[in-house]
Amino acid sequence: MTALRSLGRIILDDAISDEDLRAQLFAAVSREELVACVDKIGEWVTGKRSDLFHGIVRRHGMLRKFSPALLDALELTQDIEGEQSACLRALQMLKCSDPRT
């Protein structure tokens, strides 16, 4: 996913001309790495793991309905020293912004 984030930033950079875009993209992420990312994404949405992905999408409303209760039940702690991860900060923010309160 880091590769895709890097490519997205380059694509969205208006300072890079269309003529230079492809060279900039492959300078940041090799063709082989991009092919591997595309293959992984394809497996999630059409391959043997797609049932899980589509199941989550179909049940999005139910997941949203019960996620506050799940967050209440979880004790969120960081396992390593240093700055708190962005994911943990986001989960704690969601936990504190429970719409039921």
Please write the tens of the pLDDT for every residue from 19-33.
999 999 999 999 999
Q: Give CA separation, 35 vs 8, 19, 41, in Å.
A: 15, 22, 10
Report yes or no on 21 lying in a domain.
yes
Measured CA angle at 90 (ends 95, 49), to 5 deg? 100
Q: Both 42 and 17 in a single domain? A: yes
Q: Both 73 and 47 in a single domain? A: no
pLDDT at 1: 62
Q: Both 44 and 15 in a single domain? A: yes
Tokens 């702690």 belong to residue: 77
Cβ–Cβ < 8 Å for 29, 6: yes
Q: Both 33 and 78 in a single domain? A: no
Q: Both 33 and 15 in a single domain? A: yes
- Percent of the chain predicted with pLDDT > 70: 84
Average pLDDT of 65-92? 82
Average pLDDT of 59-80? 82
pLDDT at 9: 92
Determine the structural domain holding residue 47 and report its residue range.
2-55
Q: Both 48 and 33 in a single domain? A: yes
Can you read off the two tokens belonging to residue 16?
């890079």
Examine the pLDDT at 98 and tell me if it is beyond 70: no
pLDDT at 64: 81
Give the chain's mean pLDDT. 82
pLDDT at 50: 64
